[in-house]
Amino acid sequence: MEKRRSRKPAKKRKSFWRGPWGIIIFMTALFLVLSIGGCSALYVAGNQMIDESKLELKETSKVYASDGKTEIARLGTDDRQLVTFDKIPKHVVDAFIATEDNRFYEHNGIDPIGIGRAVVKDIISRSKAEGASTITQQLARNIFLSHDKTFMRKTKEIMIAMNLERKYSKPQIMEMYLNAFYAGKGRVGIQAASKYYFGKSVEQLSLEEGATLAALPKAPNTYNPVAHPDNSLKRRNLVLSLMEKNGFITAEQKEQAQKKPLKVQDNLPSNSRVSEEYRAYIDYLTDEAERRDITEDQLYYGGYKIITYMDSKAQKAMFEEYKKDRNFPGGTDPKVQSAMVIMETKTGGITAMVGGRDYVTKGLNRAEMKVQPGSTIKPLIDYAPALEKGWTPYTMVKDEKKTYRKYQNWTPRNYGNEGYAGSITMNKAVVESRNAAAVWTLNEVGLSTGVSYLKKFGITPEPEEENYLSLALGGMQKGATPIQMAQAYSAFANNGKMNKAHVIKQIISRDGGVIIPEEKNETQVVSPQTAYYMTEMLQNAVREGTGRKARFGHPLAGKTGTQQYDSKKVSRGTRYAWFVGYTPDYVGSIYMGYDVTNDKYHLRTTGGAEPAALFSKVMAKAMEDKERKDFERPEGVKTAEPPVSLPSIGDLSATVDETGQSVNINWGGTKDNRVKYRLYRFLGSPAEKEMIAETGSSGYTDAFDSSKMYTYVVVPYNAETGEEGNMSNMATITVPEPQSDEQTDPNQSTDPNNPNPDDPNNPGQLTDPNNPNLEDPNNPNQSTDPNNSNTTDPNQQNPGQVNPNDQNEQGTDGGIIPPRQNNERTGRGNGNGNGRNASGEGSTP
């Protein structure tokens, strides 16, 4: 019996066309098509794949401080710096050709020999297509295609490369390639790589340094001289060998270069494109450029020179102070947040900005975040509109308890339930930040008027808020940003003109053209007089009011702001605390507060505490080398005068002079030349007084008639309004006693009880018979007053003494004053003037 053979299952036969020989035949056929007549079709297809705009190679834009020289940042995720072909040394170009494409000057974009070699390698490794791309193909891939290793991508790469060779010369292609390859560590192109690794421009590269960079296109991380120096050294030496093999250098040059150690610069630049110090500023710059029709991609990779208004010293000072937890209230979990800006008052250029504590790129920039401004809004909506209507810092405003029935029966309170001051000057209301006075002022000026000015200052409340009188105190749903507040206050330092806040001073293209010129966007918000008067009051607020902690050695005007937080569990808490202040040239704005305020997280401080103190620290450092300038009164603006204060006169005197012909009448006056005086005299009742003079001085001379012993009074009055003050004391004429012509014995005692104490025979008793005025102890009626021979005689009266029996005579000084020069105070009366003192409080110097 024949054995049955066991049958093995038949193997599944692989398709011929999917095997290695099929691939070879396919590629050979493709090559024949290209050789015979398919080139024109590939040219057309390749041309359609080329986006000409991409051939304008991207270059990283650089950001500079206001001096145009100090580089502060390079934009984008990669550092791209373009260089022209003529600036690249020949040995550097040769290094890349020897390594990447030694037949570069011989092919038309594709190298058939190289393609064949790559295909064979792919077949052997059974992997996707790779390797042996020409420099032109690499350029096509770097600019137009992804880096996927597929047959389709390889085909597109070939088509684009052939088209590029037809359109551009070899030097142009090489220039584009060397500016577009990735060199690791975020650097793109030969120039960026040269400056990063060696700290020099490409023109200065040595032979071995050029070879080191030529090693990077194949594997920028593997052959990175910083991360993998050993790999980099081996690859560099291989490049040098290839250069010698292809005739670019001699064997001796190769050996000398290979002996040199691999060396990169010691202080490598940071891989971070933007330092933490500048993040908020650069983010704001990006947003501003977009508002001016420059996209982020264009801004980052347009190769622009971007000159900003940044003062690098001010920015550093602000950043350093924000790193110190002790400058802020509260704990660190969560942190009390804050933002600050400094701006030029004359241009609106922002010189420094911090967007928050621990700010991250593209994070919440609190310099642009609206928060309730508290009392910092008062100068904008309450007092500036009032000044525009003709009020002055010395106009009287009412700080009183008042319920505004038209506005939901609202009764504003002063901060901390402080009492009301009554009628006070506007200046005092600003200095002491009186809430009730601010609300009263806005109500008098008109809410709609105040809102219109607030909008002029660049702050727009929500539509429904325009009907709320609480706007007077910063009661807003959203509020204002630190940038907006700095912008608004800049008008007070700039004669009432406000410039829109911005950071971009100028943008210059890579060819030197100006894309965005320096410009002003200025608006006259209030009059120069209003700006000056407001500055005077806000200077007082810093000198003697709530902003004292903000002082730093330069003339400063400013206002604090404290937005209260109250709930069932919290009383007198603070939601946000502000300070906004300015010098003649710079304005700064700062706020502090939690991002979310509640019963657990709220402040226990005011704008005059930590915010003002931090403002002082930053500004002191930022301006330590700046010229100290005083605020100047604008041309044509008069200094605000305090209200006329009519003096209370209680020292009126009337004394007959030495000649006995005139009466010198004197009183204490005031230096205010708006105050004049009306002088009256009478014999009987004051009701019968007659006016004898109107004068601006504090003295007058009247004729003396011994038969008419007049009594005088003076009344001050306001020469501008005619308003009279209170009547002075009454002064009756005083006649001085004549001086004795007798010579006085220098040895004689002046003691009336002992004219000669050295006489042993004199027991101390006056016995001179020639002097009837000497005291006689035996005469009880003898006067002891040397000026009155008999005080007990009811018919004898001192000329300067009141007759108590005359009901019409008012009491005056009973003593006799020796005569003095005219206009000098003599013989003070002791009447009660009860004069009113209407002097303004908190006057501006």
Q: Give the chain's length.
A: 845
723 given a catalytic annotation: no
Q: 200, 228, 259: which is the final residue of a domain?
A: 259
Give the residue carrying structure tokens 């100006």.
514
Whether pLDDT at 743 is above 70: no
- For residues 502-518, average pLDDT: 93
124 and 250 part of one domain: yes
Catalytic residue among 375, 589, 648, 698: 375
Residue 579: strand pairing partners:
560, 590
pLDDT value of position 717:
96
Residues 164 and 26 in one domain: yes
> Is the pLDDT assigned to residue 570 strictly greater than 70?
yes
The answer to the question of residue 193 being in a domain is yes
Q: Is residue 173 part of a domain?
A: yes
pLDDT for position 544: 95
For 396, phi and psi rounded to 5 degrees?
A: -80, 130
Same domain, 86 and 229: yes
Give the per-residue pLDDT at 133. 85
pLDDT band at 771 (very low <50, low <70, confident <90, very high): very low
Task: Report the pLDDT averaged over residues 137-154.
Answer: 72
Q: Please indicate, yes or no, if residue 321 is contained in any of the structural domains.
A: no
CA-to-CA distance for 386 and 388, rounded, in angstroms?
A: 5
| Residue-level pLDDT at 418 | 84
CB-based burial label for 89 (10 Å; 0-12, 13-18, 19+): middle
Is 626 domain-assigned?
Answer: no
Report the CATH number that the domain containing residue 833 is assigned in CATH.
2.60.40.10
pTM of the model: 0.70
Query: Using one digit for the tens of pLDDT, what is the confidence trace for 808-821?
Result: 333 333 333 333 33
Instruction: With beta carbons less than 8 A apart as the criterion, state whether 73 and 275 touch.
Output: yes
Number of helices (H) and strands (E) in the chain: give both, helices first: 22, 23
Pick 33 or 798 by higher pLDDT: 33
Q: What percent of the chain has pLDDT over 90?
A: 62
| Rounded (to 5) percent helix, strand, coil in the chain | 35, 15, 50
Asked if residue 353 belongs to a domain, the reply is: no
Q: How confident is the model at residue 36 (pLDDT cuts 50, 70, 90)?
A: very low
- The phi, psi pair for 499, rounded to 5°, reads -105, 140
Q: Alpha carbon of 62 to those of 250, 304, 306, 505, 615: distances in Å?
A: 40, 6, 6, 14, 30
Residue 634 lies in a domain: no
Considering 231, 259, 287, which residue would you say is the last residue of a domain? 259
| C-alpha dist (Å) from residue 457 to 445, 460, 723 | 17, 9, 39
Strands (E), 500-642: 504-508, 514-516, 522-524, 557-565, 573-582, 586-593
Asked if the model's pLDDT at residue 545 lies above 60, the reply is: yes
Distance of alpha carbon 640 from alpha carbon 395, whole angstroms: 10
- In the 8-state DSSP scheme, what is residue 383? I
The answer on 379 and 255 residing in a single domain is no
Cα gap 435→418, rounded to integer Å: 10
- Orientation angle between helical segments 90-100 and 207-214, nearest 10 degrees: 40
The dihedral through the CA atoms of 589, 592, 593, 595 has a sign that is: positive
Contact call for residues 720 and 681 (beta carbons, < 8 A): no
Which residues form the domain of 227? Answer: 20-57+81-259
Mean pLDDT for the stretch of residues 215-219: 93
With respect to residue 827, please indicate whether it lies within any of the assigned structural domains. Answer: yes
Residue 445: partners with Cβ closer than 8 Å, 6 or more residues away: 382, 385, 386, 389
CATH of the domain at 393: 3.40.710.10
Q: What CATH number does the domain containing 207 carry? A: 1.10.3810.10
Q: What is the pLDDT of residues 458-468, one digit of tens each?
A: 999 999 999 99
| Other CB atoms within 10 A of residue 694 CB | 12
Q: Do the domain assignments include residue 96? A: yes
- The DSSP 8-state label assigned to residue 335 in this structure reads B
- Per-residue pLDDT, 231: 94
Q: In one letter, which amino acid is 382?
A: D
Q: Which of 451, 476, 501 is the last residue of a domain?
A: 476
Instruction: Give the CA radius of gyration of the chain.
Output: 48
2 or 176, which is more confident: 176
Task: State the total domains in the chain.
Answer: 3
**What is the average pLDDT across 231-253?**
97
Percent pLDDT > 70 in the chain is 77
DSSP string, 68-126: S--EEEE-SSSEE----GGGS-HHHHHHHHHHH-TTTTTSSS--HHHHHHHHHHHHHHT
List the structure tokens of 191: 């120039």
247-264 pLDDT tens trace? 999 999 999 999 999 999
Question: What is d(CA 815, CA 799) in angstroms, rounded to the nearest whole number?
Answer: 10
Q: What is the pLDDT of residue 788?
A: 43
Written as one string, the DSSP assignment of 530-567 is: HHHHHHHHHHHHHHHSTTGGG--SS--EEEEEEEEE--
Quick check: is 100 catalytic?
Answer: yes
Quick check: 159 pLDDT over 70?
yes
* Cα–Cα distance for residue pair 239/220, rounded to 1 Å: 14
Residue 308 pLDDT more than 70?
A: yes
**Lowest-confidence range among 77-86, 239-248, 746-755?**
746-755
| Beta carbons of 753 and 767 less than 8 angstroms apart | no
What per-residue confidence (pLDDT) applies to 643?
82
Beta-strand ranges (E) seen in 433-549 are 497-499, 504-508, 514-516, 522-524
Position 844 scores a pLDDT of 31
Catalytic residue among 59, 61, 66, 100: 100
Tokens for 290?
């977009």
Between β-strands 675-682 and 699-703, what pairing exists: parallel, antiparallel or unpaired? unpaired
Taking alpha carbons only, the member of 286, 289, 291, 290 closest to residue 274 is: 286
SS3 254: helix
Lowest mean pLDDT among 74-78, 241-245, 486-490, 682-686: 74-78
